[in-house]
Structure 1
């Protein structure tokens, strides 16, 4: 049986296209014009399957329009700007073992070539040519005479013109906005700037000011409506905390949180530094109900997360329910290992503030028992938390012990409680990463208020 020699056929027609300049697009008054482009490749690695999909779709559309009689222009360019290239160059200069292994054994870059790549433009050019070669082998119908990079002077002028036009039309606004920020590189970061191409997702947390005398232990939460159900506070006994003047108030927050608040534009003055264990056993006061409860130790509290101080609502937070029950058992078994006594916590009971169909008065307990969770390190706690939070947010309503918010849907009460507490000065807000993200340079991304900067107003429907 005769086998079709596909490679020979491919090579034959690609040669014919090149000799005929088949995809060189010049002005032709006899044909209607059709221009299309696509996101430029970011050349910090060789071509991969994502490139194949993206540019094949574009090429198919270009060919389709040519078949309809259009004079089609499909150019290609290279995205040379951005921090990932700089971060990769620095890693190469430092001879990062992981990067060297990738370059030498996965990308098959000759070792003698590496010194040439210790420059961002040289590295980008190297990978751009590798990707271009792949595009030509695939046979994309691009006019390579019009190839350019985003650092070419003529392109930079085009971008300046473009933004000037956007500003004239009122589509660019000046203001201060939260951005993902690399403290090492000293600039904002986006998805392509991070390890694993993770988008830095930012959310606004409500920070509830829980007091001990005139000392505030601020707790960040995405569920301010559960403030009525606080039974205790958590603090990491081994982490470093600071007492600080924050906008004129005395706060106790983790050392990491103090730095974050400064980046968020707060006036922060460090007064003293302590280990978290100093605060175990303190009596704190709920700013809404006036109820008193203790500060308890919890190693699961991440000092890098929000304020480093956590409010405990065991009726509606599976992590809190499991941690509290586990602590009761451990203190009873080994009382000499703790600053608190068994009698100090044995009577702490969950306070239900949300009712939801299909669950008992203590929804967190229901799901914890269903999943047979007994330890705060059980990975199923994430699943339990998502189940409860989703069920309560979409179908829960506030119980009668929540004052003016009784019977309100959780979705409504969440914003109402937040706004009222902020108005009374018993809460504030802060921006925080929803999950840890690393810059390609290795530093952990934080949130910074970028002040007096120009932004495209994507919220404008025009």
Structure 2
């Protein structure tokens, strides 16, 4: 009960006034928008809140601005449609359900202390559909308490569990494809090797803001094999003095789209995830490559393969070409040999 003293000592029960009008709007369908021929109309929408947690102050701030606009346009005589939806798709909900099933103490503590989720409900959160349904119900109560002027008949969520919305998305994609705005192809994405799927920026437990990096592979011919080096600066190839390998690393010889490559094991896995056909032939110790020479592309110059402990098998292909004129570290490594 919130009592604030008004004029002349009168107490105003703001909470009861709020409850009265909130229920009246809801029960009488004040904000339900039906077609009215001849009346100007306007549609407003709010970015669908994700249902892996409760609504926060940011939702309240953004939705209130939209609600003010919707109410203003009604006062101007417009027939305003303000629907509301919930974002179910993506991996955070499935990931959270999996973490709960594994007893993730940090996440469970957050659900209890911040979201105030009862223990009996948390036990059911191992089912991602139940988790999404729970937060959708709770967040709808919050949106109604905020007094947003929504037509709740138009509520939906974004998965195949809502057949109407799912059919709309299918129609939309087919329509855009027919008009030539959508084509099927490939493009770089941030890929989760565990889930075997692309992961959007907000779908990750960590690494938000990370985007795919584009490397150029420069292939150095070494006998029957190629040593491909990943680089951001392919134009520096004319200054290459040697190729670096890590003598302590176990490399592999593999057929990559029909060519014999020597690369690190992590690079082999990355190439497989990029639609390359990779067949491992044998293991090659890094120290086995020392003293051999390889040919620089375009110029056909022969340069030596030298040892470098700084070469990381997790980075690029585990093979690095040295250009001391452009890279101080290469110059220092040559000096320290």
Question: Which of 12, 20, 23 pairs up with 1:15?
Answer: 20
Q: For residues 309 and 6 of structure 2, what CA distance do their matches in structure 1 show?
A: 67
What is the CA deviation profile of residues 210-246 of structure 1, one whole-angstrom value per residue up to 9, with x for unaligned ones? 1323321101112111111223323333333111122
Question: Which of 325, 329, 343 pairs up with 2:332?
Answer: 325
Q: Which residue of 2 aligns with 1:170?
A: 180
Q: For residues 46 and 299 of structure 1, what CA distance do their matches in structure 2 show?
A: 49
User: Secondary structure at the residue paired with 1:296?
Assistant: strand
Question: Which of 225, 247, 265 pairs up with 2:235?
Answer: 225
Q: CA RMSD in A?
A: 2.9
Q: TM-score, normalised by structure 1?
A: 0.64
Q: TM-score, normalised by structure 2?
A: 0.85
2:97 touches 2:126 (CA, 8 Å); kept in 1? yes
Shift of 1:207: 0.7
> Does structure 1 residue 268 correspond to structure 2 residue 298?
no
Q: Mind listing any 5+ residue stretches in structure 1 that lack a counterpart?
A: 330-344, 346-462
What is the CA deviation profile of residues 311-362 of structure 1, one whole-angstrom value per residue up to 9, with x for unaligned ones? 2223323xxx236426744xxxxxxxxxxxxxxx4xxxxxxxxxxxxxxxxx
Question: Which of 34, 43, 51 pairs up with 2:42?
Answer: 34
Counterparts of 1:30-429 in structure 2 under 5 Å? 31-150=39-158, 151-196=161-206, 198-199=208-209, 201-317=211-327, 321-322=328-329, 324-325=331-332, 328-329=335-336, 345=337
Tell me the number of residue pairs that the alignment of Structure 1 and Structure 2 aligns. Answer: 327
Q: Mind listing any 5+ residue stretches in structure 2 that lack a counterpart?
A: none
Q: For residues 240 and 61 of structure 2, what CA distance do their matches in structure 1 show?
A: 51
Q: Which residue of 2 aligns with 1:353?
A: none
1:190 touches 1:199 (CA, 8 Å); kept in 2? no
2:22 touches 2:145 (CA, 8 Å); kept in 1? no
User: Secondary structure at the residue paired with 2:113?
Assistant: helix
2:323 touches 2:330 (CA, 8 Å); kept in 1? no
Tell me which of the two structures has the higher relative contact order, counting C-alpha pairs closer than 8 angstroms and 6 or more residues apart. 1
How has the CA–CA distance of structure 1 residues 212 and 94 changed in structure 2, closer, same or farther, with 3 Å as cutoff? same
Shift of 1:8: 4.8
User: Secondary structure at the residue paired with 1:176?
Assistant: coil
